[in-house]
């Protein structure tokens, strides 16, 4: 049954549920699928999971082709689906969006227009107070990002643009092509939006989109673009839990024991260990340089920064995290020796997607679990967060270690004596790891 549901899901993704559908019926949803993949923002934490999903989709398309009724148009649609997924893989692994863009242009040329092209939308007319008569998600998104651009990381801006585009499409009436005017929206409009977003999306994805909507509408209400937002209480509770899990204490012990048995020169040993004892994201670990391993007062730390064109998730991600000697068997002296003898500047001189893939494959091999069980490198971050919560570590200290919003420790680090903030974090980690 599990495999059958997976195939059914793949049929829905590529709109292949009906074997009798013609190419004219299939070309538009396939083009929309390609566009959604082109617009999709994939964080460094999600790359491995997304890559596995793409691989599974290719397998599913092969199974559909081998075991389902076929027509000439259906074969053409499956072949196009394969091209779309392969182009998405090209974008994910090589950063090249061109193959996807070429497919979209090709499909656009083959579409059979079913409605006249609408005239360009008129510019919104402003009221006497300077607020437009028509306020849409598209308009609010532009205004919001213009105001907040200096507060957001480039990745967050791309993510929000993608979310606002999806929301705008879901709020557009297909019969008129007009986007909902939020100045006159009702609770019923928001409930209808939720239903549209649920079509073909996981509950977790829907909730993320609704969170973006909530941020935008709250801002719009505070700035008098709308009188009231009716989006409260829309999020899905059942089935919306994150697929990511934390490792058990036994799993962490097994993993770190295996890492400790690797040679001191093994990059895998240190890349995995740093994730376990600092909770840093895999993209943050990947970008570390020799200069980022430094001493502040009595503590050795990793410095997560945006120097030398490095990128971080957001402004709160820029931080230092102490290295706890003895935590889960971590050998600080051996790690510093590894850093000292490196020939280049980077701690881990690997291709990015291979770095992620190898570490997640190592996790699966050591712990003997399947890729669909929700345990990835990012689970190390969840594990540390859970460990600190279990030991009742002060929330602001936890936030500073994990790179979330914080005031107290941030002030200690950048507004006063940096040794004070690092000392607080180091002590919290020692308590959590029991060293």
SS (H, E, C) 50-114: HHHHHHHHHHHHHHHHHHCCCCHHHHHHHHHHHHHHHHHHHHHHHCCCHHHHHHHHHHHHHCCCC
Q: Are 107 and 31 contacting, i.e. CB atoms less than 8 angstroms apart?
A: yes
* 115 Ramachandran zone, left/alpha/beta (phi>0; psi -120 to 50): beta
pLDDT at 122: 44
The β-bridge partners of 294 are: 301
Write down the residue that tokens 């909507």 correspond to.
Answer: 213
Identify the H or E element spanning 321: strand 319-322
Domain residue extents for the chain: 2-110, 137-222, 249-433
Identify the H or E element spanning 384: helix 379-390
pLDDT at 253: 93
DSSP letter for each residue of 122-169:
PPPPB-TTS-BSS--HHHHHHHHHHHHGGGS-HHHHHHHHHHHHHHHH
pLDDT higher than 50, residue 422: yes
105's CB contacts (< 8 A; 6+ apart) are none
DSSP letter for each residue of 159-172:
HHHHHHHHHHHHTB
pLDDT-wise least confident of 107-111, 128-132, 174-178, 308-312: 128-132
188's CB contacts (< 8 A; 6+ apart) are none
pLDDT higher than 90, residue 182: yes
Q: Which two tokens stand for residue 243?
A: 């697929």
pLDDT-wise least confident of 38-47, 139-148, 198-207: 38-47
pLDDT at 130: 54
Confidence of residue 208 (pLDDT cuts 50, 70, 90): confident
pLDDT at 28: 87
Range among 21-30, 31-40, 129-138, 261-270 with highest mean pLDDT value = 261-270
Q: For 224-264, what is each residue's pLDDT tens digit?
A: 999 999 988 888 766 544 445 788 889 999 999 999 999 99
pLDDT higher than 60, residue 123: no
Confidence of residue 49 (pLDDT cuts 50, 70, 90): low
Distance (Å, whole) CA 351 – CA 207: 33
Mean pLDDT, range 167-184, rounded to an integer: 92
What's the chain's average pLDDT?
A: 82
More confident residue, 51 or 414: 51
In terms of Cα–Cα distance, which of 276, 257, 250 is closest to 359?
276
167's CB contacts (< 8 A; 6+ apart) are 137, 193, 197, 209, 212, 213
pLDDT higher than 90, residue 41: no
pLDDT-wise least confident of 7-21, 156-170, 219-233: 7-21
pLDDT at 324: 96
pLDDT higher than 70, residue 117: no
pLDDT-wise least confident of 34-48, 143-157, 190-204: 34-48
Distance (Å, whole) CA 348 – CA 282: 11
Q: Are 380 and 279 contacting, i.e. CB atoms less than 8 angstroms apart?
A: yes
The pTM assigned to this predicted structure is: 0.52
pLDDT higher than 60, residue 371: no
The β-bridge partners of 302 are: 293, 321
User: Considering all CA atoms of the chain, what is the largest pairwise distance in Å, rounded to the nearest integer?
Assistant: 72
More confident residue, 416 or 45: 45
Distance (Å, whole) CA 242 – CA 230: 26
- Where does 249-433 sit in CATH, by number? 1.10.443.10
pLDDT higher than 90, residue 399: no
Mean pLDDT, range 193-218, rounded to an integer: 88
More confident residue, 138 or 50: 138
Mean pLDDT, range 93-100, rounded to an integer: 83
């Amino acid at each position: 049954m599990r495999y059958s549901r997976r195939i059914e899901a793949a049929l829905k993704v590529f709109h292949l549920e009906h074997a009798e559908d013609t190419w004219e019926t299939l070309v538009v949803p396939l083009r929309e699928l390609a566009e959604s993949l082109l617009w999709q923002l994939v964080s460094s934490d999600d790359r491995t999971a997304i890559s596995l999903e793409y691989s599974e989709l290719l397998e599913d398309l092969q199974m559909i082709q081998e075991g389902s009724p076929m027509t000439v148009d259906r074969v053409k649609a499956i072949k196009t689906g394969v091209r779309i997924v392969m182009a998405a893989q090209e974008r994910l692994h090589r950063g090249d969006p061109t193959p996807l863009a070429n497919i979209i242009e090709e499909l656009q040329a083959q579409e059979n227009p079913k409605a006249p092209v609408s005239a360009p939308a008129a510019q919104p007319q402003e009221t006497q107070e300077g607020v437009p008569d028509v306020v849409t998600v598209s308009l609010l998104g532009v205004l919001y990002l213009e105001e907040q651009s200096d507060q957001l990381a480039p990745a967050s801006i791309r993510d929000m643009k993608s979310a606002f585009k999806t929301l705008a499409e879901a709020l557009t009436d297909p019969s008129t092509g007009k986007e909902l005017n939020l100045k006159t929206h009702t609770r019923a409009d928001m409930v209808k939006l939720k239903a549209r977003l649920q079509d073909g999306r996981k509950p977790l994805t829907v909730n993320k989109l609704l969170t973006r909507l909530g941020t935008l509408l709250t801002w719009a209400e505070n700035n008098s673009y709308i009188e009231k937002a009716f989006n409260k209480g829309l999020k899905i509770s059942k089935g919306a839990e994150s697929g990511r899990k934390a490792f058990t204490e036994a799993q962490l012990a097994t993993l770190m024991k295996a890492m400790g048995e690797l040679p001191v020169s093994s990059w895998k040993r240190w890349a995995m260990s740093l994730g376990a004892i600092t909770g840093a994201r895999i993209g943050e670990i990947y970008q570390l340089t020799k200069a980022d391993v430094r001493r502040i007062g009595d503590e050795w730390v990793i410095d997560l920064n945006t120097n030398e064109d490095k990128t971080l998730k957001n402004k709160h991600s820029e931080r230092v995290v102490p290295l706890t000697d003895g935590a889960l068997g971590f050998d600080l002296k051996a790690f510093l020796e590894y850093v000292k003898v490196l020939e280049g500047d980077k701690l881990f001189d690997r291709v990015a997607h291979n770095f992620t893939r190898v570490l997640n494959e190592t996790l699966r091999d050591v712990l003997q679990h399947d890729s669909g069980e929700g345990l990835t490198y990012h689970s190390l971050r969840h594990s540390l967060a859970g460990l600190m919560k279990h030991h009742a570590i002060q929330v602001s200290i936890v936030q500073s270690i994990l790179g979330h919003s914080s005031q107290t420790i941030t002030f200690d680090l950048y507004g006063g004596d940096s040794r004070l903030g690092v000392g607080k974090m180091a002590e919290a980690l020692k308590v959590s790891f029991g060293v």
